[in-house]
Structure 1
Amino acid sequence: MKEVYFKDNFFSRGITEIFNENQDQIGYLDLKSAFTSSVAVCGLDHKTHIEGRFSGFFKGRWIITGQNKVELGRLQQSFSFTKRKFVYETADRGNYTIVSKVFSKEYQILNEKEEEVVCFERVSGFFESRAYKLVNRSELLSTEEWTAVVMGVNMFEKMSNDGGTAAMGGAVT
């Protein structure tokens, strides 16, 4: 099990640190810019391990890529009136459902057997940038990949809260 903490920045731009449960920095997020809505998950070696970005003009999919820009998976929002729901599909490592009650800050990531393999929660305050605690119990997907998935959920929710201007490149928090 791996536990990490990371956060967004206002305007989703700049560098933010990734910490482990002992508050040691283990990497960082490079939030490319508010206009491209993309993120790179980097190690302390300054190498990009995983990237996440919206695909297409209407920003309906968050694409996760690994080294050499090889696609690892796609995150999409799934509509539900009773909960927030997302689906993360990978080519050969399974499909995952991300669910949260409507006003909750806690999320579960379930595998195809509906077993919780990852959980994350928003741990930031009202006037702060969004910060997350991620607990990875998955043996198939890395914590770096799940970090990019969480940032994708973050971007989708920012678009929903903003009425969609983030999808067109607007800066929101």
Structure 2
Amino acid sequence: MTEILNEQEQQVGQLDMRSAFSSATDIYGVNGELLYNGRFPFFSGKWEISGADGEQAGVLRSRLAFFSKKYSYETIGRGDYEIISPAFSREYDVIDESGNVVAQFKQINGWFSSGAFVLDNQCEFLDSYELIAVIIGMHAMQKAVSSAGTAGT
């Protein structure tokens, strides 16, 4: 289990990466209750996020973009969002359908360590735990692309 910390470095939840052989992730709240899980469906490049009840909350997809990193997160009844970052940046903006930046996050760890991020969530329709599931999915997509690129060398 990996701790989720707030800005005062107090534990506010946990991530369970389930297994070293799968990208599936469970996200737990401050009281240990399951809030969200994320996973790649079999032979799929999209990351599906579900709530504790098993109902799908949204789907994250990578989008083709030149000179930037771009993802879309489509929710069920709460809008669609773009996640954009300049090509070599480690900072990301989450943009709603009106073009407003509703959240930002940045990767703060070194290149060779596991993913660590800081999240600033101002979105009224996505809670921070759901955005953590989005970030984990985006990071898993980037790792898959990176390992596919090095597999042929």
Give the TM-score category using the shorter length. Answer: over 0.9
**How much has 1:165 moved relative to structure 2?**
9.1
Q: Verify the 8 A CA contact 1:159 1:165 in the aligned structure 2.
A: no
Match of 2:23 in 1: 37
Q: Cα RMSD over matched residues?
A: 1.6
User: Secondary structure of the residue that 1:84 maps to in structure 2?
Assistant: strand
Residues 42-93 of structure 1, C-alpha deviation per residue, up to 9 Å, x if partnerless?
0232221111111131x31100000211000000000112211000001200
Corresponding residue number in structure 2 for 1:133: 118
Q: RCO (CA 8 Å, sep 6+): is it higher in 1 or 2?
A: 1
Report the counterpart of residue 104 of structure 2 in structure 1: 119
Indicate which of 13, 29, 37 corresponds to 1:27.
Answer: 13
1:165–1:63 distance in 2 versus 1, CA, 3 Å: farther
- 1:117-143 CA-to-partner distances (Å, cap 9, x unmatched) read 011100002332221001100011110
Aligned twin of 2:36: 50
Report the count of equivalent residues: 151
Identical residues among aligned pairs (%)? 38
Residue 149 (structure 1) aligns with: 134
User: Structure 1-normalised TM-score?
Assistant: 0.83
In the alignment, the residues of structure 1 paired with residue 150 and residue 134 of structure 2 have an alpha-carbon distance, to the nearest angstrom, of: 21
Structure 2: gaps (5+ residues): none
Partner of 1:94: 79
Q: TM-score, normalised by structure 2?
A: 0.94
Letter in 2 for 1:138: C
> C-alpha separation between the residues in 2 aligned to 1:165 and 1:25?
35
Aligned in 2, Cα 1:72/1:49: closer, same or farther, shift over 3 Å? same
**1:84-117 CA-partner distances (Å, limit 9, x unpaired):** 1000001200000000111000000000011100
Q: Give 1:164 shift.
A: 6.9
The CA distance in 2 between the partners of 1:77 and 1:122, in whole Å, is 18
Match of 2:50 in 1: 65
The answer to whether structure 1 residue 80 and structure 2 residue 74 are counterparts is no
The gaps in structure 1 that reach 5 residues or longer are 1-14, 167-173
2:94 — aligned with what?
109
Q: Which runs of 4+ in 1 moved over 3 A?
A: none
